[in-house]
Amino acid sequence: MPDELARARGWFLKAESDLKTAQRMAETDGPYDTACFHAQQAAEKYLKGLLAFRGEPFHATRNLEELQHIGEALPAWPLPGLDLAELSSYAVEARCDFEFWPDRQTAQEGLHLASEVRRLVLGAVPQSARP
């Protein structure tokens, strides 16, 4: 498990960085599209970290629902039924859609969901895997 532990911890450390960036953007005057993007990135990395910890392979994807689907096939998946569709869309939408200019409330909702993913994921791994 040392390799899985190291990979998981690496994903979680990167996720923490994205979550902090999203928090800073959402708590100030933005930019809120950046907050949404980093909230999505944080959730993605927490999910990938949990899959890595469990030794479950996954391919490169930004789709949180796809990662969730992989995880739901595993025993004791801690995020059953969590709707990540809106957050998932921020991976591309926030960066490439010139008409996507979310408000502060939207950014804070994305941040809240990413924080919930963090809470559930980190609660499912031992202290040694946490950032």
Q: Which domains, and CATH codes, for the chain?
A: 2-129 (1.20.120.330)
Q: Say if residue 17's pLDDT is above 70.
A: yes
The whole-model pTM stands at: 0.94
By the 8 A CB rule, do 83 and 13 touch? no
Instruction: Write out pLDDT tens, residues 82-128.
Output: 899 999 999 987 788 889 999 999 999 999 999 999 999 999 999 99
Tokens representing 60?
A: 């490169």
Instruction: Write out pLDDT tens, residues 58-77.
Output: 888 899 999 998 998 888 89
pLDDT at site 97: 86
Q: Say if residue 2's pLDDT is above 80.
A: no
